[in-house]
Amino acid sequence: MSSIVAIVGRPNVGKSTFFNRMIQKREAIVDAVSGVTRDRHYGKSDWNGRSFTLIDTGGYVEGSDDIFQKEIDKQVNLAIEEADAIIFMVDVTDGVTGMDEIIVDLLRRSQKPVFLTINKVDNAMRVEGTMEFYSLGFENLYSISSVNGSGSGELLDDLVKSLPEEEIRTDDPLPRFAVVGRPNAGKSSFINALIGEDRYIVTDIAGTTRDSIDTQYNRFGFDFNLVDTAGIRRKAKVKEDIEFYSVMRSVRAIEYSDVCLLVVDGTRGFDGQVQNIFWLAHRNNKGIVILVNKWDLVEKDTNASKAFEEMIRKEISPFVDVPIVFISSLSKQRIFKAVETAVEVYKNRSYRIPTKAFNNVMLPIIEKTPPPAYKGKYVKIKFCTQLPTNHPQFAFFCNLPQYLKDPYRRFLENKLREEYNFNGIPIQIFFRKK
């Protein structure tokens, strides 16, 4: 399970710009106006081979000073409690402010590594302005520019060194299936229907489930742990401190699982936030099963499920090799089919292909459709193997790996999926020098 790094600071210091650069996507909306709504406040990043989850805690701009301090206290305290390291971001153009000092007071009481990061140091003239931040009491200062990325290398070098060693599960041999999705999509109802009792409180109020809870499922020849997670919401709707805490716990549950059962509310559709959860599980290389819940409430004709499935596959393209099961937790419609599918996906994730057999299948395919020439040079793939990891990773050894581009990587992945059953499983392909 990877570590969690929280970005804290007052509004409009550049947290979202830095967040976008780290996850290499424009996921958080960036605007000169402070307090802009963000579509996503968590993402996967890595540095020097070390992966971690990045959390953008945002900031507040409304209310009096007392209200402002109260809200800052909530967010920062929760980030400190759950995160393994803190990036405390300030703005060189504003200098040290009273709000910065409020956050520093909270950080001083923690035992977590804190990295004071001075943003917007875009030119040499602004370097002098960083000296005043030594008054905040931190030994090391990191001057960066979120816009162009300058200075972030030193920060990230020290950050990953401070993170705890990645946890490896050795005490629990049972597979872990995390039930994830938006609040009130029917996650707890699904687990209650499976185990045949009201193990979890179920209400129409979104966010009833506050924590991630394990339940062992041992029936009908199946044996695994189910994890019911608190729903993950858009940033703008995370108003309660306890729900923000639940979001962070849900992220951890995804990372610590083997298969994610993504519960989708069939009455709401496959919206942007559900897609966010899907891609978080994908980037963590987890098995994925999509469960379209409340299907009994949807007015449908015979082609409704087919149209809904086509819509989902369009949204998750190019990773379309994912099982989709239409269920109703209330009437228990196809819930055991969902379990069977999840178990199958788990087996797919641990599937191993002998190297000789793998080469016998893939090399003729490559010979028939070789990589395209690049700058007049031809790439020759001579050998391939599955890497000894807990999810499917493959290495293809060739003379010029730098000339192999994403379209050919996707071609190889498609051929792999045609030849082998990796339904529901993300595949990683690496090109190495022979």
Q: What is the pLDDT of residue 156?
A: 93
Question: Mean of the pLDDT values across residues 68-72?
Answer: 55
Q: How confident is the model at residue 165 (pLDDT cuts 50, 70, 90)?
A: confident
Q: How confident is the model at residue 32 (pLDDT cuts 50, 70, 90)?
A: very low
Residue 34 has pLDDT above 60, yes or no: no
Residue percentage of the chain with pLDDT more than 70: 78
Paired strand residues for 224: 217
Question: Do residues 177 and 278 touch, judged by C-beta distance below 8 A?
Answer: no
3-state helix, strand, coil in the chain (%, to 5): 35, 20, 40
Q: What is the pLDDT of residue 114?
A: 92
Question: Do residues 250 and 213 touch, judged by C-beta distance below 8 A?
Answer: no
CA atoms within 13 A on the CB side of 410: 8
C-beta atoms surrounding 39 within 10 Å: 15
Query: What is the tens place of the pLDDT at every residue in 9-29?
Result: 888 888 888 888 887 765 444
Q: What is the pLDDT of residue 45?
A: 83
Paired strand residues for 118: 90, 143
Q: How confident is the model at residue 242 (pLDDT cuts 50, 70, 90)?
A: very low
Q: How confident is the model at residue 297 (pLDDT cuts 50, 70, 90)?
A: confident
Q: Is the previous residue joined to 388 through a cis bond, with omega within 30 degrees of 0?
A: no
Structure tokens at 246: 């639940």
pTM: 0.64
Question: Mean of the pLDDT values across residues 369-397?
Answer: 92
Please state, in angstroms and rounded to a whole number, the distance separating the CA atoms of residues 239 and 233. Answer: 10
Tell me which of 167 and 49 has the higher pLDDT.
49
